[in-house]
Structure 1
């Protein structure tokens, strides 16, 4: 699943190529998860100039000149591809064709991609824009595993299964730790780890895949390494499931319970 580092790069590259252009047609090939009629999307967006694209948590929001917004959540296997006038990509969910012939195809063999019309705003802060001391207060009454808390989107937005393992490894906190049992000094370390891990990952992707709009290799990750038995530092990787999520961690991560 694309997470904050991936989506920030996607956002920059999509914006560079699409902002300022007029959307000619939007075509929904798989309406399985669409909550409004395709005609509503056509009425809202066709013939409108795209004025901005921004990331909101794990979503990309395409804002048009008339004030309407197209929300895109790529879910686990959603992928974006450029095309010129005619789309030949398999498993396409939606096509966006702009008036100059530039096309964007969103595909997903699982058919799980979510397209929304005018997504509702949320008060849950983005992982890269949390108020000072936010996690200290937010975690006090939560008795669930910290990995679950950081990924479910109710306390913080944008962190997924891969990068939460990286963040907890960086902070040296066990993913099984009970959220409200983590001491304040370690929450400060955790907060810093969120910023460090996500920023470093984005820098790596930008350096190695500067023009990408599709998720790339994650061989640079330290502990979330499904095909490996050791971290890049040589520690043994332990594997488990937490709330049906595959989890990778090490013995060096402290358990608070």
Structure 2
């Protein structure tokens, strides 16, 4: 899933390549991707892309006052294309969901792999009309330590779930939450509201360092190379069975119904493996 660093890098990429260009046509290939009907998707044709912004993990193209808001979900991606074909795509064929044509013949495709479809496209007059944007908490990279501590105080949920709750902090997903918790040396199952002052400080510093480092590596990348760049920088996420780069212990995994997390027992849980079942007992 694209998270804050990738979406911010895509935002910068589109500012450079799409802003100032007129949208000539928008093709809808996957009807389930479009979540709004007024204004209609064709209303973007003939309007100029005047700005690009990010709201958490949402990408927002300002098209002369209308907003094309995109959420790439788990398996969605944006592919920049040069010389788009003139013929409209056939609906329901392949991973293509939406194709945006610009006046210079270039543009971009929104695609989604797999059978579970979560990619969402909105055309709205204000980003706040998108329910997911309206519910966002403060941006993960903008929150200071005092605000961060206040957000965690009193919460009974686990750290992993708290970091990925977009109403608490906007922008962090499954991969970077694993990386942040590893850097902070904290169990993903520790209760968010029971951290010591030192643990809150470590977690906040790890959050900023992890996201900042990832963003620095992503900025300037072409859209096509961002996924591989993300994978190359991960220390524990998606590295089950490999040695932890800090201590050498084996990276372990906890699997749930439709997702999983990775962690290092030595670095994060005092050497104790977490139970690999959905209703795991918490390690405090």
Q: Which residue of 2 aligns with 1:10?
A: 10
Displacement of 1:39 after TM fit? 6.5
1:81-136 deviation line (CA, Å, top 9, x unaligned): 22213177941100100112112111113332100123325351111111441121
Aligned to 1:198, what secondary structure does the other structure show?
Answer: helix
Displacement of 1:166 after TM fit? 0.4
Aligned to 2:182, what secondary structure does the other structure show?
Answer: helix
Tell me which moved more, 118-127 or 8-17. Answer: 118-127
1:253 pairs with one of 238, 262, 268: 268
**In 2, distance between residues paired with 1:250 and 1:12?**
34
**In 2, distance between residues paired with 1:225 and 1:37?**
38
Q: Which has the higher contact order (CA 8 A, sep 6+)?
A: 1
Could you say if the C-alpha distance between residues 244 and 81 of structure 1 is closer, same or farther in structure 2, counting changes exceeding 3 Å?
closer
Contact kept in structure 2, 1:145 and 1:175, CA below 8 Å = yes
2:254 pairs with one of 229, 233, 240: 240
2:45 is equivalent to residue 46 of structure 1: yes
Q: Which residue of 2 aligns with 1:61?
A: 60
What RMSD in Å do the two structures reach over aligned CA positions? 2.3
Q: Tell me, which stretches of 5 or more residues in structure 2 are unaligned?
A: 271-282
1:196-215 deviation line (CA, Å, top 9, x unaligned): 00111222334xx7223552
**In 2, distance between residues paired with 1:127 and 1:243?**
27
2:78 is equivalent to residue 80 of structure 1: yes
Q: Counterparts of 1:169-188 in structure 2 under 5 Å?
A: 169-188=182-201
TM-score, normalisation: structure 2: 0.81
TM-score, normalisation: structure 1: 0.89
Q: Tell me, which stretches of 5 or more residues in structure 1 are unaligned?
A: none
Displacement of 1:64 after TM fit? 1.8
State the number of aligned residues: 253
Q: Which residue of 1 aligns with 2:98?
A: 94
Q: Which residue of 2 aligns with 1:137?
A: 150
Contact kept in structure 2, 1:169 and 1:253, CA below 8 Å = yes
**In 2, distance between residues paired with 1:90 and 1:80?**
15
